[in-house]
Structure 1
Amino acid sequence: MIDLRSDTVTRPTAAMLDAMFRAPVGDDVYEEDPTVRELEHEAARRFGLEAGLFCPSGTMTNQIAIKAHTEPLSEVVCEQTSHIYLWEVGGIAFHSGASVALLPGDRGRLTAAQVAGAIRSENIHYPTTSLISLENTHNRGGGSCYSWEALTDIAELAKRQGIPLHLDGARIFNALVATGQQSQEYGRLFDTISVCLSKGLGTPVGSVLLGPAAFIKKCKRIRKVMGGGWRQAGYLAAAGLYALEHHVARLADDHRRARQLAEALQAAPYVDFVLPAETNLVIFRLRDGLSEDQFLQHLAANDIKASAFGPQMVRFVTHLDVDDAAIAQVLKALQSVQAA
């Protein structure tokens, strides 16, 4: 079965499993797990920030950061299809008691002018703008990447206004590989960064929240109340360390394969449009007459899984468990859709 539903479905490689098996561990709640400490330090170093906090999921790292940055009666500025708003179960309201200022982006990407217009003026009737959050790459935008100029403009605005800037970097390594941007430069722009290890990098579990040391110390308490304190997590941290060393550069292969799929879909008579495939996500709309359910059933009959992404919309995601032979099988199945 070829699974294009998400890059979260990846399984550890044999070499990663070996690194996990050999990892020295301890009780992380007591801060005695050396492999967790090493992962947190290495992730922070790579992004030019002081400290890290290893957590079970990107939803947790995002929500911890938002909770630590905000307070009730405050507001988070983000794009209207952001993961923190659409896909985290209303966590901003539930955990932080904050409101959200939603902005329409260009495939998920905001401009500094848009963000500036959403910052609240001093008025007793308004919430206080307490956080700006960006997502790079952007899931609903089809894996779109911010330009360095756009990121810099928003970061400079945030600094002038004294508002923290958070990055949901669930697929930040895809953005880095696609654009050639340097990870250490991100620490100059963002106050906090959530980095996922279990998508394109292929680990079984885990994300790291990065930021200033004092801020991360505060976040550690929030992680505990959210149920995220764990014990011998070094086995999972070892997978993260292995992935950072061995699985980043290979993301270019995922991007190449995504472009192959996008090109085939653009030429298919049953496809209305395909969003530009900048990284490893391919989002496309089917023409009327072929529903997403019918299309997915055809794929399933050819041992292929994919995700519906709205009415007539489908998403493919390439990852390390999808090789060139798998892509060839998918391309063959796409050619036979009309006969389905």
Structure 2
Amino acid sequence: FDFRSDTVTKPTTTMKTKMVESEVGDDVFGDDPTVIALEEECARLFEKEAGLFVPSGTMGNLIAVMVHCDSRGSEVILGSKNHLVVYEQGGMSTIAGVHPRQLKTEEEHDSSTPVGGISLKEIEENIRVDDVHFPRTRLVCLENTHNLCGGVALPVDYIDKVGSLCRAHGLKLHMDGARIFNAATATQTSVARICRDCDSVSVCLSKGLASPVGTVLLGTKDFIRSARRMRKVLGGGMRQAGVLAACGLVSLREMTSRLQEDHNNARLLAEGLSQIAGVEVDLLSVQTNIVYFRLTKGGARQLAADLKTRGLLIGAKDDFVCRAVLHYMVTAMISYETWSLTTFSLTGQL
């Protein structure tokens, strides 16, 4: 059983059937009806004007940066633990010629800034003045849910405030919504409401939603028109992509409504792990389907290796911190067994 990520999910039986049945065309020519249906349905859900199917979340985020920051020497404000700067190979700099202004990602629950967010005051203070010495601030990026902060969901009122701040200063707001449906489930809020003030959103379909490939980038019609050009130059134009988009439609129609089950299983696992001597879990951050746990004496890599011999795969970030991610292929019983096997590996007792 694989807890390393929700990206390990395999297509459901329904998805496989829809792939075979899908009507396809050449998407670069705009002729694939299934891709068009996916883009339109996702745009309707988020109440955005248009969508664009791209191969990955990394590409979707990079395209958003390239469109919003369409002149070299532009700058993006974002948190230092944001996926765009930690796990996307510095693409905004190496490819787009855009400078990332990294601010502190909040990790404390007693702060006025929510965990996973960046201070409104710091955002405003770091907007560049118009001076030839400085890059031009063009964009703010948020991540929801926030991976490195334990999968926390950003409060909707916080996103609203960031959106208002951006509008007041003529900036755009992009949402890395790789797990945005998990955020919607956790906050009991529609994805459209969460992203109301976002100028663009990238929506990953291949994590907890179980599609094999793909992200939908959303925004205005003009934004998507420019994004389509950027997708092509990055090598993201696909031909008969309807076989993939068919899975995305199943993701939107069937997989989003079952995410609470993953959240419940994550809570079950987290509470069990927190009872093991020498294991620390920030239960306040276990809001969705991600569980980080810390071994106070180290040995995380060894634990991962031990569990692998027992048929369980987890991630070890370093020698102290492990991560487990819940998804539709992991049941409550498997979560309980994982807690039990972890206990045995660390203490020798069940």
TM-score band, normalised by shorter chain? over 0.9
Find the counterpart in structure 2 of residue 55 from structure 1: 54
Find the counterpart in structure 2 of residue 73 from structure 1: 73
Kept in 2: contact 1:58–1:196 (CA 8 A): yes
Find the counterpart in structure 2 of residue 134 from structure 1: 142
Find the counterpart in structure 2 of residue 226 from structure 1: 234
- Distance in 1, matches of 2:126 and 2:235, equals 33
Q: Give the alignment of 1:1-340 within 5 angstroms.
A: 2-70=1-69, 71-107=71-107, 108-274=116-282, 276-288=285-297, 290-337=298-345, 338-339=347-348
Partner-residue secondary structure (3-state), 2:75 = strand
Letter in 2 for 1:299: L
| Displacement after TM superposition at 1:16 (Å) | 1.4
Kept in 2: contact 1:10–1:202 (CA 8 A): yes
Kept in 1: contact 2:268–2:336 (CA 8 A): no
- Distance in 1, matches of 2:90 and 2:187, equals 32
- Distance in 2, matches of 1:153 and 1:25, equals 42
- Distance in 2, matches of 1:301 and 1:320, equals 23
Partner-residue secondary structure (3-state), 1:194 = strand
TM-score, length basis structure 2: 0.94
- Distance in 1, matches of 2:201 and 2:333, equals 35
RMSD, aligned CA? 1.2
- Distance in 1, matches of 2:66 and 2:168, equals 22
| Displacement after TM superposition at 1:186 (Å) | 3.9
| Displacement after TM superposition at 1:32 (Å) | 0.5
Partner-residue secondary structure (3-state), 2:134 = coil
Equivalent residue pairs, number: 338
- Distance in 1, matches of 2:127 and 2:316, equals 35
Partner-residue secondary structure (3-state), 1:84 = helix
Structure 1: tracts of 5 or more residues without a match: none
| Deviations 1:315-339, CA, capped at 9 Å, x for gaps | 0000011112311221220221212
Partner-residue secondary structure (3-state), 2:238 = coil
**Bigger Cα displacement from structure 2, 269-278 vs 72-81:** 269-278
- Distance in 1, matches of 2:180 and 2:269, equals 22
Percent identity of equivalent pairs: 41
Letter in 1 for 2:122: Q
Find the counterpart in structure 1 of residue 112 from structure 2: none
| Displacement after TM superposition at 1:311 (Å) | 3.6
Letter in 1 for 2:66: K
Letter in 2 for 1:138: H
Partner-residue secondary structure (3-state), 2:95 = helix
| Deviations 1:23-69, CA, capped at 9 Å, x for gaps | 11101011100000000001111111100000110000000110111
Letter in 1 for 2:16: L
Kept in 2: contact 1:48–1:186 (CA 8 A): no
* CA gap 1:237/1:286 in 2 versus in 1, 3 angstroms: same
* CA gap 1:296/1:187 in 2 versus in 1, 3 angstroms: closer
- Distance in 1, matches of 2:88 and 2:164, equals 28
| Displacement after TM superposition at 1:155 (Å) | 0.4
- Distance in 2, matches of 1:59 and 1:297, equals 29
- Deviating above 3 A after TM superposition, structure 1's stretches of 4 or more consecutive aligned residues are 272-275
Kept in 2: contact 1:308–1:314 (CA 8 A): yes
- Distance in 1, matches of 2:182 and 2:194, equals 14
| Displacement after TM superposition at 1:187 (Å) | 4.6
| Deviations 1:224-257, CA, capped at 9 Å, x for gaps | 1100000110010010001100011100000000
| Deviations 1:86-126, CA, capped at 9 Å, x for gaps | 10011011121111111112232123222112211222211
**Bigger Cα displacement from structure 2, 49-58 vs 92-101:** 92-101
Kept in 2: contact 1:265–1:271 (CA 8 A): yes
Structure 2: tracts of 5 or more residues without a match: 108-115
- Distance in 1, matches of 2:7 and 2:327, equals 9
Find the counterpart in structure 1 of residue 111 from structure 2: none
- Distance in 2, matches of 1:283 and 1:188, equals 30
| Deviations 1:184-223, CA, capped at 9 Å, x for gaps | 2245310000000000100000000000001101111110
Letter in 1 for 2:31: E
Partner-residue secondary structure (3-state), 1:96 = coil
